A = this chain, B = another copy of it.
């Protein structure tokens, strides 16, 4: 797809070195191998060998990218084992989140399991309670689904104001991976769900067990019992060897190191769906069973951790959008604090319940601006402003903050997290 960037033809003025290169470079193929003597800015070819092919049977990022890491905020939790870290979305591109820097949320730390010892039980209101080994699971029909996993608490600190500096911290409890596994419905069919069964209760092998209740209708729809993420086995911290994938629904339900799936006639109403993951409303009562992650977006660059380091001229604004209710159909960008909006380009796929990448090319005049993005999904739902959310949910809602994010870009290129009236 060819997109014509809506930029000023003065782009060329920003390319350094071009004038110096103007003369004497009309080369034909016969001269192809001769150096271009007037270009002194291009590095020489390497004069020695680089790494051999047996240097790294499993490679890691180059040292120059050491800043692209998960980060945690120590004062957020009492202990680092029942805590969270954040995906460096300000430094990533595309739609896939590498497992190595994809955020983690654990309630009792990331545990070690082997495939050999792994067992998955299905019991409760089923004809045949079953225990699967990992090898058993590998013999069921496999499917692929790409889905975002977002913690319900993503942006939770921001209910009270613009508190954290950087989209890694304000929206970084999110990742997007291509999962391969078996459909929960196929496993439930094996066990034989009885007509009295209306819910499934899922729990993990970790000490917290993290039990959650899922309506049977969802369990029989697109829920996956997954073993692979982005082509390889799940990482330890992402639930190795088996985790649940619940497309579009809050991350806490995506139980890791999954141990048991029980069919019951009602919700269990365990800790993680009563004391936690419920939304405290202004009248003191809490909404529960708010499973779906509503449409949301954020500009990942420029952003507080990703300031503009060049001057006026062409500027790439980029970000992510997603919706637990289906596909993102449009992302609008504003550079004047939300007074006017223009649709951004969606790059790559706009998959249902998966991260969608948008780009917006503009000519920056070098002055300060307030930049915002706004997602629209296939249901017609439009990402709301923070004030619109607060008007209904107050400021102690804790979870499900999908408000529009405002970044204040200063003339020096630095960016701050702000709220505007």
In the bound complex, residues from chain B placing their C-beta under 8 Å from that of A45 are 205-207, 209, 259
| A264 CB → nearest B CB, Å | 5
Q: A56-64, A365-373, A403-411: which one contacts chain B?
A: A56-64
A232 at the interface (CB under 8 A from B): yes
In the bound complex, residues from chain B placing their C-beta under 8 Å from that of A5 are 140-141, 186
- A77→B313 CA distance, assembly (Å): 49
- A5→B120 CA distance, assembly (Å): 21
| A192 CB → nearest B CB, Å | 10
A397 at the interface (CB under 8 A from B): no
Q: A125-133, A291-299, A331-339, A385-393: which one contacts chain B?
A: A125-133
The size of the chain A interface, using a CB distance under 8 A, is 150
Question: In the complex, are the beta carbons of A18 and B85 less than 8 A apart?
Answer: no
Q: A96-104, A247-255, A321-329: which one contacts chain B?
A: A96-104
A178 at the interface (CB under 8 A from B): yes
Which residues from 1 to 32 on chain A have a C-beta closer than 8 Å to any C-beta of chain B?
Answer: 1-3, 5, 11-12, 14-18, 21-22, 25-29, 32
Number of copies: 2
Question: In the complex, are the beta carbons of B49 and A207 less than 8 A apart?
Answer: yes
Question: In the complex, are the beta carbons of B266 and A58 less than 8 A apart?
Answer: no
Question: In the complex, are the beta carbons of B108 and A235 less than 8 A apart?
Answer: no
In the bound complex, residues from chain B placing their C-beta under 8 Å from that of A3 are 141, 143
- A3→B186 CA distance, assembly (Å): 10
- A357→B145 CA distance, assembly (Å): 12
- A136→B177 CA distance, assembly (Å): 30
- Binary CB contact string for chain A from 86 to 118 against chain B (1 if under 8 A, 0 otherwise): 000001111111111100111011111111011
On whether A58 and B100 interact (CB within 8 A), knowing A53-B106, A139-B315, A144-B347, the answer reads yes
Q: Which 7 A-B pairs have the closest CB atoms?
A: A50-B109, A144-B348, A52-B80, A57-B69, A50-B111, A17-B131, A21-B129
